[in-house]
Homo-oligomer: A and B are copies of this chain.
């Protein structure tokens, strides 16, 4: 292979990232990435890390001391949540309504948990009453639920779950990878003990860091372990000492810290609830546009995620071809289905900086053109026009 195959700066096209994440990055966040890197123990970097902790607490809606960002992706957040809270032999009750519930089971087993599954239909949330009964019956040590199931676009109602869990001495562990910053989430009010997310979804930073928070109850559980956490890299008590007491643990990535800080700062300039409303508005406009084109989202509106829209592909159309046309002819990335939904779904993320009117309209226009080319014909402009009705009259769609 010749050296011309390895130019120093790779040639990278600008895509519009409207898949399940990474999402579009705010230009300010990109500027942050290229700031001069600081050492992992530099007082100025530790100050920025302290601000990230403050801003993450606001974003999660928590006063938890142990709130920080792991040096890994959202999957490392899932692993840290389970590896710290579950000891070998512990019963773990896991709600499964999609791919990420399955992943929770996989990881819980690897760290030695005895998994009890509560399965629901993919595309619907679990019934909280059903969940509460299962908690009473199984008396697990940890209850795991996916708040925002990225594989199906469904939001899980968590009402009353924490009470039921705490009554039997269980911790409530919640995956908020796709909801943090983009959909109503109140860690303390809802009694969540462990909650994690990713930097590359509704926060609009690049991937590589995983925000996570542990309640006092969850910290106590770690302290009472009889066996240390298998993972040194994801040991929450050691990470707490690094973030809070500046005790060396690993070499954190300064550019990722800058980017996460900037994305959180922008989120709180906008206002957390304003960001939720923006995600809701763009979701409603997108749904209306999709329906006007004769397509449908998998979940009912009542339990639809706002940041992630699961669009069913009309029968007979080649899903992979739709995505490759959007990518190669229109420069737009959307995701495909996972697991049993492979080939049947487009997953459209309207997250963080990507949740914007111009992107919704751009995607609806491109999708219409691609579908026309494949023989699925709707009235020209029906999608963008329907979406505009929402933007013109948001209150008619129930959006403030």
Contacts and interface: CB of A to CB of B under 8 A. Distances in A.
A233 interface: yes
A252 B208 CA distance: 7
Contact of A36 (B14, B198, B231): B14
A282 interface: no
B39 A12 contact: no
Chain copies in complex: 2
Given A79-B232, A228-B110, A258 B71 contact: no
A333 B251 CA distance: 14
A115 to B, nearest CB: 14
Interface of A: 1, 3, 5-10, 12-15, 17, 19, 21-22, 25, 28, 30-40, 42, 44, 48, 51, 54-55, 71-76, 79, 83, 103, 106-107, 110-111, 198, 200, 206-208, 228-234, 248-256, 258-259, 261-262, 264-266, 268-269, 327, 333, 338
Given A10-B261, A22-B251, A34-B34, 17 more contacts: A6-B268, A8-B265, A12-B36, A15-B39, A30-B36, A33-B33, A37-B206, A38-B333, A39-B333, A71-B76, A73-B251, A74-B250, A79-B233, A106-B232, A110-B229, A208-B256, A256-B256
29 contacts: A7-B265, A9-B31, A9-B35, A10-B48, A10-B51, A10-B262, A12-B36, A13-B36, A17-B38, A21-B251, A30-B34, A30-B36, A33-B33, A33-B34, A38-B333, A42-B327, A71-B76, A73-B252, A73-B253, A75-B249, A76-B233, A79-B231, A83-B230, A103-B232, A110-B229, A110-B230, A198-B251, A207-B252, A255-B256
